[in-house]
Amino acid sequence: MPKSGSIGRAERERVTQKYLELRRKTVERDRSLREKVMSPEEAAALVQDGEVVGIGGSTLSRTPMAMVWALIRAGRKQLTCARGIMSSEGELLFGAGASDHVITSWFSQGIVWGVSKVMRYYTESGRARFDEWSHMAMGLRFRAGAMGVPFLPMRSMMGSDVIARLPDVHEIDCPFTGEKLVLVPALNPDVALIHVQRADPFGNAQMDGLQFMDMDLAMAANRVILTTERIVSNDQIRRAPDQTKIPFLAVDAVVEVPFGCAPHECYGVYEPFFRHHDMYAGLLRKDPVKGIADYLDRYFYAPKSWTEYLGLIGLDEVLDAARRGRSIYDD
Amino acid sequence: MTTDAMSRTQRRNYTASELLAVMAGRLLQDGQVVFAGVGIPLLAATLAQRLHGPGLTILFEGGTIGAFVEPGQLPPSTNEQRCTRRANMVLGSTDVLLLLQRGYVDIGFMGGAQIDQYGNLNSSFIGDPEHPATRLPGTGGGNDISSLTQMIVAMKHEKRRFVEKVDFITSPGFVHGGTSRRDSGLVTGGMYRVVTDLAIMGFEEKSRRMQVLALHPGVSLEEVRDNTGFELLVADQVETTEPPSERELSVLRHLDPEQLYIA
């Protein structure tokens, strides 16, 4: 099992890419104004085993669950998953054998459900790797990736043991002021999965509420798969271009999936499905390995479609989450 | 629980978690900018807003400036829409964390799984990090907050949590004491207060070791020592805090009626 403190050159170059290589991958993409609407299954085929996958949203918010679901169903293996904060989507990716490596600042279902037993099972036994960066370090890694520079300086993580375990960080004396600084390497995922409230068929994405790191993540990645609550016309996008947070030229696939974050939240559309989360946590509490396998069988492998998945979660849960979600706009 | 603690619980009309939330909330002042973590810090900061600090600006790492969390609508983390109610601004999580680095934040406010005599916090590993007995969820924004601003930590006072040396420094306090924090490159911030269900602690100016400043009603210094895994310094004048008032408790219970955080 690779120790998180050691890193090979090849692995470093997977996440922090040389500038000309990064430019080449961008130049080779079809950046024309073209329709790119496809199914979750077609989008899953754009992701290869072993790739670095950036996941949008944070904790229980705007998680691109429908694409996580599609990748697991497609049998993807050995993905390295990077996200500011990981929640149950990380547990499901580990449990399904789709990922064996996460890069994040925090990883558990959520504080109210305690420390993740699935995360513990996989990381304590060395079955999977959990590189722990500070939350701001994760953000600056995506930002450096988006800026096309190999690193950014920052002032946290010094004096802690977090920094000593990280694979690729440098402490320097600033050439301008002489102060100590930490340099964190750019993170350029092979592919980013991002869910938004609305997008047009070209991939112009409009996002309401909390943005997390998604704009940087989109611009850092070499491919972007966008899922959206609904597809709107390009005319509608052009009426309020200031609301567009991710431009079409960075997007490679647009997938329409209503309730595409379920059982997580999508700002202003639905809140987390709390009863479903309690049920899920209960399954894992008894036995993390059998619990996650049973959950995956029932909710990920058995349904024929995303609609059927939502049906299994239950109409009452869906409506309850939607009622709470929309209440954010009440005075 | 010690005999002291049991008899005290029978006498008083609040739980240890409620006491902790009330005492923590009192440490925040109107007009301050506070960066709050989920759980007791979020609750205590919200309580302070409702009681004495309507001008208290709360930041959450999910990306909000100046939210007022609604009673009975506590979020499962600081990354959900519930954290944006009546906020002045929502922004990216990297950008809200950068406000710490730029110097806009007065107080960082967090919970902790394990703390040591220099105020270092561990939320990463119990046991040897190479072969941990328990892998904990990790730092989140904790490391950034504790690296870049003055910190208040709210946690239960238990011997297994107050240890001589943490297994892993996730969020640095005064590192190895003395000037070691500054020497490591952290030129600002540091531990300001640790508030527990037994006492309020600060850090001695030179050694940067934890020091008892105040005891909660009915708590003895001996009891605090019995529940601490290292030698505590004691201030020349140890104060006794005022017990939680009816108003403080009723507002607190109104905020968290399901006892999501104050169970």
What one-letter code names the amino acid at B114?
A: Q
Rg of chain A over Cα atoms, rounded to whole angstroms, equals: 19
Residue B235, token pair as written in the block: 């201030």
Contact A125, B87 (CB under 8 A): no
Q: What is the CATH number of domain B3-39+101-242?
A: 3.40.1080.10
Given B18, B61, B223, B248, the catalytic residue:
B61
Mean pLDDT of chain B: 95
Q: What angle do CA A42, A96, A110 make, to 5 degrees?
A: 105
Averaged over B229-248, what is the pLDDT?
Answer: 98
Q: Is the pLDDT of residue A179 over 90?
A: yes
Condensed to tens digits (0 to 9), the pLDDT of residues B20-63 reads: 999 999 999 999 999 999 999 999 999 999 999 999 999 999 99
- Dihedral over alpha carbons A257, A261, A266, A269 (to 10 degrees): 50
B-interface mutation test, from A161, A211, A214, most B Cβ less than 10 A away: A161
What one-letter code names the amino acid at A178?
A: G
Condensed to tens digits (0 to 9), the pLDDT of residues A201-240 reads: 999 999 999 999 999 999 999 999 999 999 999 999 999 9
Helix axes A135-147 and B93-102, enclosed angle (nearest 10): 110
Contact B117, B230 (CB under 8 A): yes
Q: What is the Cα A312 distance to its own chain's centre? A: 24
Closest-CA distance of chain B to residue A162, Å: 6
What pLDDT score was predicted for residue A84?
A: 98
Closest-CA distance of chain A to residue B161, Å: 16
Contact A269, A197 (CB under 8 A): yes
Residue A261, token pair as written in the block: 């974050």
Using CB atoms, which residue from B81, B169, B260 is nearest to A160?
Answer: B169
- Rounded CA-CA distance B180/B203 in Å is 14
Kindly state whether B41 is in contact with chain A, defined as any CB-CB distance less than 8 angstroms. Answer: no
Cβ distance of A216 and B140 shorter than 8 Å: no
A-interface mutation test, from B69, B139, B166, most A Cβ less than 10 A away: B139
Residue whose tokens read 């993807």: A76
DSSP codes, A310-330: HHHH-HHHHHHHHHHHHGGG-
Rounded to two decimals, the ipTM of the complex is: 0.95
Condensed to tens digits (0 to 9), the pLDDT of residues B187-207 reads: 999 999 999 999 999 999 999
Residue A142, token pair as written in the block: 């995506």
Report the 10 Å Cβ neighbour count for A273: 25
Closest-CA distance of chain A to residue B77, Å: 6
Partners of A140 in beta bridges? none
CATH superfamily of A13-150+186-232+242-261: Glutaconate Coenzyme A-transferase (3.40.1080.10)
Kindly state whether A159 is in contact with chain B, defined as any CB-CB distance less than 8 angstroms. Answer: yes
Contact B51, B71 (CB under 8 A): no
Q: Is the pLDDT of residue A63 over 70?
A: yes
Contact A54, A83 (CB under 8 A): yes
H/E run at residue A185: strand A180-185
- State yes or no: is B61 an active-site residue: yes
Domain boundaries, chain B: 3-39+101-242
Condensed to tens digits (0 to 9), the pLDDT of residues B135-189 reads: 999 999 999 999 999 999 999 999 999 999 999 999 999 999 999 999 999 999 9
Cβ distance of B147 and A104 shorter than 8 Å: no
Domain boundaries, chain A: 13-150+186-232+242-261
